[in-house]
């Protein structure tokens, strides 16, 4: 109890900063709403996949799924990213032109590079100014279906569809905005969303409360339930791809540098691997050769069969040059649990209305 009282002044200070932060967010939104700041429109359909908080809702797999669907429907999709974690400081960086990768993860950031690896025939563009990146995609690649990765807070660019992902188990964190909590804007700003998708959904008291809250506050906004499903384990050095179920009982050392490493930990346990050691790093961690050698040594010390990580982490691991045949990553895909046809019909219908 004494510790709580001692921390009260600091928490109050953080709450004060969060209050100022929220004021700035609301002022900025009002400036766009009143036309003081101008929103820009691209000559293409623009759909944003974003969230309310800082990381961890699984946007990258969702972007991958939507881009693949759009390509299958005959659209000409392109992904627009701000390139978080990359060192590119120019106007527009082509990570992939849809046929080959033209950039390195150190420049683009790990997530755009991962998308470029996983999406054939879909250009991936990095630009802090999404309008410029989108215009470039339209002009160079004739793109007509632009996916704004992590775009809910990017108010400058007009969107035809705003899809917001919410972690079903913890959608609002502690309810506070930065810096006291994880929210990038107040919960009330969810009213701007056109579609909600609850990710990593599993029925329980917490998720039922989230569904009830959304139904009560935004009854006209459709809600879809989704999960992130491990579909294969890739061993790039030996060019092998195996069914995740084939790893059942295998002794494994694993690591992850994502927003919520526990999710990857739980995924591996759900596959039934024998998890001998698990190392968690900060989100967007840049690995050193020394760290990878230490993990490989731990594999030997624990007599493990594999060293496993996430696809996002593998992008940076391979840059160290320290890899082995026993190192692999778990490929995770985004899936709508029920009503997938309704979800994609909604996207298609919104695209069609844009063309009228």
Give 316-329 pLDDT, tens digit per residue: 999 999 999 999 99
CA-CA-CA-CA torsion sign (219, 222, 227, 228)? negative
Contact 51, 57 (CB under 8 A): yes
- How many other CB atoms are found less than 10 A from the CB of residue 69? 17
User: Does pLDDT of 355 surpass 90?
Assistant: no
Q: Are β-strands 145-149 and 45-51 bridged in parallel, bridged antiparallel, or unpaired? A: parallel
Contact 50, 165 (CB under 8 A): yes
Q: How confident is the model at residue 154 (pLDDT cuts 50, 70, 90)?
A: very high
Q: How far apart are CA 200 and CA 230, in angstroms?
A: 12
pLDDT of residue 204: 66
DSSP states along 281-340: --TTPPP-HHHHHHHHHHHHHHT-SEEEEEHHHHHHHHHHT---TTEEEEEEEEEESS-H
Quick one: which of 89, 123, 91, 85 has its CA closest to 105? 85
Q: How far apart are CA 229 and CA 233, in angstroms?
A: 12
Residue 148 bridge partners (DSSP): 48, 80
Residue 253 bridge partners (DSSP): 277, 307
Q: How far apart are CA 73 and CA 80, in angstroms?
A: 19
DSSP 201: -
Contact 85, 109 (CB under 8 A): yes
> Tens of pLDDT along 253-306?
999 999 999 999 999 999 999 999 999 999 999 999 999 999 999 999 999 999
Average confidence (pLDDT) over 170-188: 92
> Tens of pLDDT along 308-318?
999 999 999 99
Residues 6+ apart with CB under 8 A from 3: none
Q: How confident is the model at residue 77 (pLDDT cuts 50, 70, 90)?
A: very high
pLDDT of residue 216: 94
Highest-scoring range by mean pLDDT, 6-20, 49-63, 197-211, 329-343: 329-343
Q: Are β-strands 223-235 and 240-242 bridged in parallel, bridged antiparallel, or unpaired? A: antiparallel
Quick one: which of 187, 186, 185 has its CA closest to 216? 187
In 172-222, the DSSP E strands lie at: 195-199
- How many other CB atoms are found less than 10 A from the CB of residue 72? 10
What does pTM read for this prediction?
0.93
- How many other CB atoms are found less than 10 A from the CB of residue 144? 19
pLDDT of residue 2: 39
Name the CA radius of gyration of the chain, rounded: 21
Residues 6+ apart with CB under 8 A from 338: 225
Buried b (16+ CB within 10 A) or exposed e, 89-125: eeebbbbbbbeeeebebebbbbbbbbbbbbbeebbbb
Q: Name all domains of the chain by residue range, CATH numbers in brackets.
A: 45-221 (3.40.50), 230-334 (3.40.50)
């Amino acid at each position: 109890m004494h510790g709580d009282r001692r921390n009260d002044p600091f928490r109050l200070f953080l709450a004060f900063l969060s209050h100022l932060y929220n004021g700035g967010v609301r002022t900025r939104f009002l400036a766009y709403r009143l036309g003081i700041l101008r929103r820009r429109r691209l000559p293409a359909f623009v759909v944003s996949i974003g969230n309310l908080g800082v990381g961890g809702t699984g946007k990258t797999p969702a972007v991958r799924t939507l881009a693949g669907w759009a390509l299958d429907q005959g659209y000409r999709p392109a992904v627009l990213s701000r390139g978080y974690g990359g060192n590119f400081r120019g106007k527009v960086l082509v990570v992939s032109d849809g046929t080959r990768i033209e950039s390195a993860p150190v420049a683009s950031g790990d997530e755009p590079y991962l998308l470029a690896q996983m999406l054939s025939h879909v250009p991936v563009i990095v630009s802090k100014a999404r309008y410029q990146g989108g215009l470039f995609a339209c002009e160079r690649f004739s793109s007509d279906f632009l996916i704004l990765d992590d775009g809910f807070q990017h108010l400058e660019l007009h969107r035809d569809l705003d899809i917001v992902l919410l972690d079903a188990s913890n959608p609002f964190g502690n309810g506070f905005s930065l810096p006291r909590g994880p929210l990038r804007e107040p919960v009330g700003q969810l009213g701007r969303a056109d579609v909600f998708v609850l990710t990593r959904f599993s029925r329980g008291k917490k998720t039922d409360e989230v569904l009830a809250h959304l139904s009560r506050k935004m009854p006209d906004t459709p809600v879809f339930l989704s999960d992130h499903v491990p579909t294969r384990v890739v061993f790039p050095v030996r060019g092998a791809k195996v069914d995740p179920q084939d790893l059942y009982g295998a002794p494994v050392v694993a690591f992850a540098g994502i927003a919520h490493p526990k999710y990857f930990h739980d995924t591996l346990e759900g596959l039934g691997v024998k998890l001998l050691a698990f190392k968690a790093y900060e989100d967007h961690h840049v690995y050193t050769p020394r760290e990878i050698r230490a993990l490989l040594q731990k594999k030997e010390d624990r007599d493990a069969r594999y060293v496993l990580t996430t696809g996002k982490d593998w992008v940076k691991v391979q840059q160290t040059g320290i890899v082995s045949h026993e190192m692999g990553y778990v490929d995770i895909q985004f899936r709508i649990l029920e009503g997938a046809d309704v979800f994609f019909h909604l996207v298609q219908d919104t695209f069609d209305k844009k063309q009228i």
